């Protein structure tokens, strides 16, 4: 017998007015070869989250605690970390990671909904086919992240700035806007961060999970690059400028969502729950020599934007001098390496995203 379900959203939901025009295409033959072959690849590389991952072994706690990454910050390399006992290390690692992974999980749900919107909104059959495979991929990602987080701790609420970005993308009223918000900015962040996390962790279940998810995300990003890359040159200057503005705003929200003051506060809250005074953490980190250099090398919280989103925007023709100026101003207002270092030498996008996911080389 099925439980009684209400047709109305419960309190455990968030509603946003989604905008799109649903477009039928009467051209059923393939028009964009690159997207058709991406669709074929997507079909070929499906996997089953519950069947294909080693869930039965559970999480290897010491491997997890010795190799987790929190927003790109290598806490295990500090002397302070070594003063904590193994139980506290595991407690900090599991709570902090569950918090970070929860935001990835919520982002995956946003991706699931945007991908399904793209099935309706894109005007080419190849684009619809591909978005249909991505929709299934994203459902699987929601499934695996939720299952993994439940083994660590519990699912934390979404960061407000990530919610804002997902809402803006779902509410964007043309498909190019949705594609820029999701396939370029959110997917770019996901691909970059999952790769970082995959290469850092020695925990076997998480490594395998992120390998599968990362391969899917590489296709999702490739879709945005190939599709928008072929459409942007046909748009009017005003349409291009509007897309550039949206991309910049999305990236700005993304930086806020990753580790603005609120995010840092939320991570420190997890330390407190594990019995470590946040004031001691901050004082100890301030004393660590070489930390600033490591963080600067990794790009800190700008990493995914400077290492992936900006080169992607350049590749698809959405990085005019005007918008580069906006990025430069934004970086100028953030601490760390000078803006010139980032905008003066934009890194090249990896040619083979699939291979890049697993090659372990430093980003950029």
CB contact at 8 A, 357 and 214: yes
Nearer to Fe ion, 153 or 217 (CB): 217
Phi, psi at residue 334, to the nearest 5°? Answer: -105, 160
Judged by CB, which is closer to Fe ion: 91, or 187? 187
Pick the closer one to Fe ion by CB: 40 or 283.
40
Cα gap 81→2, rounded to integer Å: 49
H helices present in the chain, as ranges: 33-44, 49-52, 61-67, 79-82, 86-121, 125-152, 160-171, 175-179, 187-200, 204-231, 237-259, 261-273, 278-287, 291-298, 303-304, 310-315, 321-332, 339-343, 353-359
Nearest distance in Å: CB 111, Fe ion = 5
Closest approach of Cβ 141 to Fe ion, in Å?
4
Q: Are 11 and 102 in contact (CB under 8 A)?
A: no
Closest separation in Å from C-beta 142 to Fe ion: 8
Return d(Cα 179, Cα 199) in angstroms, integer. 28
The answer to the question of residue 220 lying near Fe ion (CB under 5 A) is yes
Task: Indicate the residue among 210 and 342 with the shorter CB distance to Fe ion.
Answer: 210
Bridge partners of 155, per DSSP, are none
Question: Measuring CA to CA, which residue among 202, 310, 292 is closest to residue 250?
Answer: 310
Nearer to Fe ion, 106 or 141 (CB): 141
Nearer to Fe ion (CB atom), residue 111 or residue 125? 111
The answer to the question of residue 240 lying near Fe ion (CB under 5 A) is: no
Handedness of CA 213, 268, 309, 344 (dihedral sign): negative
Which positions from 82 to 111 touch Fe ion by CB under 5 A, shown as an x/- string? --------------------------x--x
Per-residue string for binding with Fe ion, 180-219, x by CB under 5 A?
A: -------x-----------------------------x--
Q: Closer to Fe ion at the Cβ: 91 or 138?
A: 138
Please report how close the Cβ of residue 144 comes to Fe ion at its closest, in angstroms.
10
Whose structure tokens read 């439940």?
150
Which x/- pattern over 129-168 shows residues binding Fe ion (rule: CB under 5 A)? Answer: ---------x--x---------------------------
Confirm if 257 and 99 have CB atoms less than 8 A apart. Answer: no
Q: How far is the CB of 229 from Fe ion (least distance, A)?
A: 18
Handedness of CA 302, 303, 305, 307 (dihedral sign): positive
CA distance 41 to 48: 16
178 near Fe ion (CB under 5 A): no
Q: How far is the CB of 145 from Fe ion (least distance, A)?
A: 9
Min dist CB 189 to Fe ion, Å, is 10
d(CA 10, CA 64): 35
Of 144 and 205, which CB lies nearer to Fe ion in the complex structure?
144
Where does this chain bind Fe ion (CB under 5 A)?
A: 108, 111, 138, 141, 187, 217, 220
């Amino acid at each position: 017998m099925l439980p009684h379900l209400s047709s109305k959203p419960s309190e455990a939901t968030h509603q946003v007015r989604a905008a799109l025009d649903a477009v039928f295409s009467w051209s059923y033959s393939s028009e964009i070869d690159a997207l058709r072959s991406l669709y074929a690849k997507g079909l070929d590389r499906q996997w089953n989250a519950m069947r294909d991952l080693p869930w039965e072994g559970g999480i290897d706690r010491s491997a997890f605690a010795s190799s987790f990454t929190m927003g790109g910050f290598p806490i295990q390399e500090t002397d302070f970390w070594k003063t904590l006992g193994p139980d506290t290390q595991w407690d900090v690692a599991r709570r902090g990671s569950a918090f970070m992974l929860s935001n990835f999980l919520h982002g995956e749900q946003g991706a699931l909904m945007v991908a399904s919107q793209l099935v309706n909104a894109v005007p080419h059959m190849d684009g619809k086919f591909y978005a249909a495979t991505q929709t299934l991929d994203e459902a699987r990602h929601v499934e695996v992240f939720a299952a993994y987080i439940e083994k660590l701790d519990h699912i934390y609420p979404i960061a407000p700035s990530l919610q804002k970005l997902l809402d803006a993308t779902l509410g964007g009223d043309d498909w190019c806007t949705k594609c820029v918000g999701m396939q370029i900015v959110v997917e770019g962040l996901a691909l970059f961060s999952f790769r970082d996390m995959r290469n850092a962790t020695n925990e076997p279940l998480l490594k395998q999970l992120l390998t599968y998810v990362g391969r899917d995300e590489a296709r999702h990003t490739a879709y945005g690059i190939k599709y928008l890359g072929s459409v942007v040159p046909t748009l009017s200057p005003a349409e291009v400028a509007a897309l550039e503005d949206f991309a910049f705003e999305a990236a700005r929200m993304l930086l806020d969502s990753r580790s603005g003051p609120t995010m840092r506060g939320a991570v420190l809250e997890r330390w407190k729950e594990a019995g470590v005074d946040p004031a001691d953490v901050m004082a100890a980190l301030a004393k660590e020599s070489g930390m600033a250099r490591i963080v600067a090398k990794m790009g800190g919280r700008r990493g995914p934007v400077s290492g992936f989103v900006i080169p992607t925007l350049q590749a698809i023709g959405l990085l005019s001098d005007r918008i580069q100026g906006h990025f430069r101003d934004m970086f100028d207002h953030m601490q760390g390496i000078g803006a010139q270092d980032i905008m003066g030498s934009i890194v090249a996008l990896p040619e083979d995203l699939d291979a890049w996911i697993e090659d372990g080389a430093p980003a950029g």
